[in-house]
């Protein structure tokens, strides 16, 4: 299918022009505004007024009204007519002579100067170099002399300004600026009449076929070339566009951007200058003249005149789009850009791009479609609305009118092909994702996000959760039923949560966990809920669903409380006491929570420690009461208990001790006694009842861990005493005692130990202890001696320093008198007063005694 670019509309009918005179033919035409001039072979010029009308149907018609006709009186055909509207003059070529006539009355301009003889052809410079608006430049081919002359045509005279010679006889001419484009007998050439520079274009046999030289724009010409081509050539002799392919018998050509129109014997052909393709063919017999006048393309047979009316560009483009010729439509639109106001073009171009996108979308050419949608700044909703039910019911969107595409919806487009539907949906997903990340979704984020959510849910797409977890504008009311329909309950919960409806979210999730609803999105939904609750800021909700979670599994459920971040404002309602109160039904959870408090958060509160210890104890006891007791579990439970008893010092010892009274948990008993500082009892239990000597030693180390050395020694001595005590039967503990001594020699005072030891023990037995003790004592002595020496020397140094700072020596002699009693010194002993004044010791003492404040102000020292 071709474009309908032009419509052929009759302008002047045969009857109006020549009536029934058969031999009269049209030779040339000229159109200037509403004025149409027709030159005939019987030397007449006819002047018509051409009025344009639009019929009610929107068609353009012309009505011609004859104004005047004038016989030139030469009996020769009128070859050419050119109007110079600014001068109100018409230039007429007839009988090889150019005459200038008045445009209105067609009378020849009176003065004789307005006439050029010996003319083959002439042309008017549409790009004049002369600035005078009341002057027309004209290029004239002279009949015989192989020359081209340039004339200036004024209102009443013509004046030749230049004459250039050509290598061959020219037969057609066109003028643009200084450039003459000439058809010579064997070739085309460009001639600059100002500089004389010439440029050969290409060979053409003008004698064989009539050449065509047509200016199509600034310094660009259209020429008939061999093989029926329309060649484009610039003044520089370069072709910037590919040629158009006319027929061999081409008669005339005209330009109406972006088309090149050509006339041959049977047809008018329309080629696009943009892609050089044939766009339209109009059948037209007996065509004679094809010319464009100020953008209006006129066509004449020998008997009648027609106008080729271009159809509006938009209509042409719509035709192309209707034929799915997207590229051509865009090329046409973009090519016509410069002929359309910028803002209007932008709107039109955008719409065409969008339409093009939809056409390609319909053909499932998604890449191209996307590109066109993007360039055309398509409202995303326009695309979304193609997919049934995707736009939220609350959306205010209505499709653009007139519609951008022919599809009712996706089903219409896919014609029931589910694979196509799926591909379209995948495309929309990717398109919407991109739209979200750009400004494409501005103003309709709700629609976009909701549509995306629906697509994700439907396609079981993994990004559904990402969408809901991130910042989104999905409409809850619209999305919820959709998600329910597709069993995306977890996602729906997330959406509820995003919209601040945590209760609804939890309710939904609980039902999924309980198996009332089916949604396999998360297999660990229960853990997720627990985690969710542990972060949930609404305490009411936490309490509400904690019960459920704990019933489900205490160990996990308690994480609601243990994982919760501690914050002050919640502390009041979510205080540990309150939690424990709630948890009391759930034994395991209570233990875990207390462990979290005591061991994890190290809360220093007696109640928790005692509670935990009691719970541990109960656990141990309950395990022990089973028969047989599961050894592994008992060991573990006891270890926990023991650790707590040892590490904590906050629990109520007496309470526990009472509970332990009648049990076999001796180690724990010992620990508790230790806490009460009842070390003898503890050690007694360990040594005599448990007979666990390493434990006893460990006990000593543990109980004295934070105390000084003396305390530790006392404990070890106590242990030794227990070993050697009177209630020890026989030599049962001798070995233990020896081991203790030998191993912890430093912990004992040897002298004390030796007194304690029975006489009968051999020296050999105690050798490691004694050696150790001796060595220790020697070492201690040496060390203290060294220390003493060091202290002395330090003292000496200090003294030396002191003297040094006191100044010079104090001289005492028999001749010197005491300042206080003024007697001489008889002994070297003296007291120095401040300032180094020596006085008698007794005088100084006297003075001190006498002083009212009884304060010793002098610093007595001895000097020798």
Residue 264 · residue 232 · CB < 8 Å: no
Q: Say whether 670 sits in a helix, a strand or coil.
A: helix
Residue 11 phi, psi (nearest 5): -115, -55
CA distance 593 to 558: 7
CB of 261 to another protein, least distance (A): 18
Choosing from 239, 507, 570, 858, the residue that interacts with another protein (CB under 8 A) is: 239
CB of 271 to another protein, least distance (A): 11
Choosing from 118, 167, 177, 335, the residue that interacts with another protein (CB under 8 A) is: 335
Name the token pair of 526.
């229960």
End-to-end CA distance of the chain: 138
Other C-beta atoms closer than 10 Å to the C-beta of 250 total 21
Choosing from 33, 113, 196, 227, the residue that interacts with another protein (CB under 8 A) is: 227
CB of 111 to another protein, least distance (A): 45
Nearer to another protein, 337 or 861 (CB): 337
CB of 537 to another protein, least distance (A): 53
What is the b/e burial string over 754-767, where b = at least 16 CB atoms within 10 angstroms of the residue's CB? eeebeeeeeeebbe
Examine residue 69 and say whether the peptide bond preceding it is cis (omega within 30 degrees of 0): no
Cα angle: 139, vertex 144, 148; to 5 degrees: 20
226 makes contact with another protein (CB under 8 A): yes
CB of 509 to another protein, least distance (A): 49
Q: Which of residues 380-439 bind another protein (CB under 8 A)?
A: none
* Stretch touching another protein by CB under 8 A, among 103-111, 240-248, 283-291, 643-651: 240-248
| H/E element, 234 | strand 229-234
Nearer to another protein, 13 or 200 (CB): 200
Cα angle: 75, vertex 77, 83; to 5 degrees: 120
Choosing from 70, 241, 673, 684, the residue that interacts with another protein (CB under 8 A) is: 241
CB of 276 to another protein, least distance (A): 7
Name the token pair of 486.
């597709």
Nearer to another protein, 370 or 381 (CB): 370
Contacts of 588 (CB under 8 A, 6+ apart): 554, 555, 558
Choosing from 41, 96, 97, 245, the residue that interacts with another protein (CB under 8 A) is: 245
Nearer to another protein, 353 or 683 (CB): 353
CB of 275 to another protein, least distance (A): 4
* Total of residues contacting another protein (CB under 8 A): 34
Q: Which has the closest alpha carbon to 80: 119, 118, 117?
A: 119
* Stretch touching another protein by CB under 8 A, among 63-71, 327-335, 506-514, 668-676: 327-335
Nearer to another protein, 200 or 639 (CB): 200
CB of 274 to another protein, least distance (A): 4
Choosing from 177, 237, 725, 750, the residue that interacts with another protein (CB under 8 A) is: 237
Residue 301 · residue 290 · CB < 8 Å: no
For 448: left if phi > 0, alpha if psi spans -120 to 50, otherwise beta; the answer is alpha
Q: DSSP letter at 185? A: S
167 makes contact with another protein (CB under 8 A): no
Binding mask 189-208 for another protein (x = CB under 8 A): -----------xxxxx----
80 alpha carbon, distance to own chain's centre? 68
Nearer to another protein, 349 or 609 (CB): 349
Other C-beta atoms closer than 10 Å to the C-beta of 636 total 14
Q: Which of residues 272-311 bind another protein (CB under 8 A)?
A: 273-276
Detail the DSSP E strand segments found in 381-483: none
CB of 277 to another protein, least distance (A): 8
CA distance 418 to 416: 6
CA distance 768 to 747: 13
| Helical segments of 726-840, H only | 734-743, 750-756, 767-806
Name the token pair of 292.
């464009």
Choosing from 11, 136, 174, 231, the residue that interacts with another protein (CB under 8 A) is: 231
334 makes contact with another protein (CB under 8 A): yes
Q: Say whether 32 sits in a helix, a strand or coil.
A: strand
Nearer to another protein, 375 or 688 (CB): 375
CB of 329 to another protein, least distance (A): 13
| H/E element, 674 | helix 666-675
Choosing from 60, 68, 74, 242, the residue that interacts with another protein (CB under 8 A) is: 242
Nearer to another protein, 337 or 460 (CB): 337
Nearer to another protein, 247 or 507 (CB): 247
175 makes contact with another protein (CB under 8 A): no
Nearer to another protein, 233 or 304 (CB): 233
**Full DSSP string of 735-747:** HHHHHHHHHTGGG
Q: Which has the closest alpha carbon to 222: 153, 281, 271, 289?
A: 271
CB of 308 to another protein, least distance (A): 21
9 makes contact with another protein (CB under 8 A): no
Which residues lie near another protein (CB under 8 A)?
Answer: 187, 200-204, 225-227, 229, 231, 233, 236-245, 258, 273-276, 327, 331, 334-338
């Amino acid at each position: 299918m071709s474009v309908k670019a032009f419509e052929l509309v009759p302008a002047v009918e045969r009857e109006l022009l020549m009536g029934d005179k058969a031999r009269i033919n049209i030779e040339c035409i000229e159109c200037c505004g509403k004025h149409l001039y027709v030159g005939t072979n019987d030397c007449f010029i006819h002047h018509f007024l051409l009025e344009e009308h639009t019929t009610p149907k929107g068609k353009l018609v012309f009505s011609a009204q004859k104004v005047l006709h004038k016989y030139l009186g030469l009996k020769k055909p009128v070859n050419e007519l050119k109007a110079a509207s600014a001068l109100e003059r018409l230039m007429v070529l007839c009988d090889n002579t150019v005459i200038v006539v008045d445009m209105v009355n067609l009378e020849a301009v009176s003065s004789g100067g307005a006439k050029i003889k010996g003319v083959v052809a002439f042309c008017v410079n549409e790009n004049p170099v002369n600035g005078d608006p009341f002057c027309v430049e004209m290029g004239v081919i002279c009949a015989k002399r192989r020359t081209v002359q340039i004339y200036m045509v004024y209102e009443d005279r013509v004046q030749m300004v230049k004459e250039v010679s050509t290598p061959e006889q020219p037969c057609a001419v066109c003028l643009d600026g200084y450039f003459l484009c000439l058809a010579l007998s064997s070739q085309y050439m460009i001639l600059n009449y100002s500089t004389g520079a010439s440029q050969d274009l290409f060979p053409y046999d003008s004698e064989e076929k009539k050449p065509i030289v047509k200016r199509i724009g600034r310094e660009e010409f259209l020429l008939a070339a061999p093989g029926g081509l329309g060649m484009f050539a610039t003044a520089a002799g370069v072709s910037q566009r590919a040629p158009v392919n006319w027929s061999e018998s081409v008669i005339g050509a005209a330009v109406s951007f972006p088309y090149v129109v050509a006339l041959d014997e049977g047809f008018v052909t329309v080629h696009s200058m943009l892609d050089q393709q044939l766009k339209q063919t109009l059948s037209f017999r007996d065509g004679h003249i094809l010319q464009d006048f100020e953008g209006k393309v006129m066509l004449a047979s020998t008997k009648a005149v027609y106008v080729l009316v271009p159809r509006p560009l938009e209509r042409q483009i719509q035709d192309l789009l209707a034929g799915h010729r997207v590229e051509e439509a865009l090329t046409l639109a973009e090519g016509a850009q410069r002929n359309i106001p910028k803002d209007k073009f932008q709107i039109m171009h955008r719409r065409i791009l969008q339409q093009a996108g939809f056409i390609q979308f319909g053909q499932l050419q998604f890449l191209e479609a996307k590109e066109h949608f993007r360039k055309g700044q398509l409202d995303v909703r326009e695309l979304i609305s193609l997919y049934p039910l995707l736009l939220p019911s609350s959306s205010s969107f209505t499709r653009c009118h007139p519609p951008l595409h022919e599809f009712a919806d996706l089903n219409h487009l896919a014609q029931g092909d589910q694979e196509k539907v799926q591909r379209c949906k995948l495309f929309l997903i990717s398109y919407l994702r991109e739209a979200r990340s750009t400004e494409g979704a501005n103003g309709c984020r709700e629609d976009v996000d909701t549509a995306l959510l629906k697509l994700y849910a439907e396609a079981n797409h993994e990004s559904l959760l990402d969408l809901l977890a991130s910042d989104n504008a999905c409409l809850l009311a619209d999305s919820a039923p959709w998600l329910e329909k597709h069993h995306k309950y977890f996602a729906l919960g997330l959406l509820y949560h995003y919209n601040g409806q945590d209760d609804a979210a939890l309710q939904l999730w609980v039902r999924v966990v309980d198996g009332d609803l089916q949604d396999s999105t998360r297999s660990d939904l229960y853990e997720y809920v627990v985690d969710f609750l542990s972060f949930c800021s609404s305490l009411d909700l936490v309490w509400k669903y904690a019960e459920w979670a704990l019933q489900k599994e205490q160990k996990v459920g308690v994480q609601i409380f243990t994982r919760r971040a501690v914050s002050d404002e919640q502390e009041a309602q979510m205080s540990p006491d309150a939690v424990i109160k709630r948890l009391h039904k759930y034994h395991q959870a209570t233990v875990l929570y207390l462990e979290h408090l005591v061991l994890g958060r190290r809360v220093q509160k007696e109640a928790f420690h005692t509670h935990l210890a009691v719970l541990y104890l109960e656990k141990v006891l309950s395990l022990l009461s089973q028969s047989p007791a599961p050894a592994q579990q008992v060991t573990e439970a006891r270890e926990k208990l023991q650790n707590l008893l040892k590490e904590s010092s906050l629990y109520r010892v007496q309470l526990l001790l009472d509970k332990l009274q009648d049990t076999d948990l001796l180690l724990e008993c010992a620990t508790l006694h230790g806490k009460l500082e009842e070390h003898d009892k503890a050690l007694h239990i360990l040594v005599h009842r448990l007979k666990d000597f390493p434990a006893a030693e460990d006990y000593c180390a543990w109980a004295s861990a934070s105390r000084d050395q003396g305390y530790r020694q006392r404990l070890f001595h106590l242990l030794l005493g227990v070993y050697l005590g009177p209630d020890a039967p026989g030599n049962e503990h001798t070995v233990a005692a020896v081991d203790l001594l030998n191993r912890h020699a430093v912990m004992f005072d040897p002298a004390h130990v030796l007194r304690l030891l029975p006489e009968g023990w051999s020296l050999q037995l105690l050798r490691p202890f004694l050696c150790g003790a001796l060595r220790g004592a020697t070492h201690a002595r040496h060390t203290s001696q060294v220390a003493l020496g060091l202290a002395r020397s330090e003292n000496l140094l200090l003294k030396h320093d002191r003297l040094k700072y006191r100044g010079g020596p104090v001289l005492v002699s028999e001749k010197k008198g005491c300042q206080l009693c003024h007697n001489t010194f008889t002994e070297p002993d003296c007291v120095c007063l401040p300032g180094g004044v020596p006085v008698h010791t007794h005088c100084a003492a006297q003075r001190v005694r006498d002083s009212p404040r009884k304060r010793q102000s002098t610093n007595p020292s001895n000097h020798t």
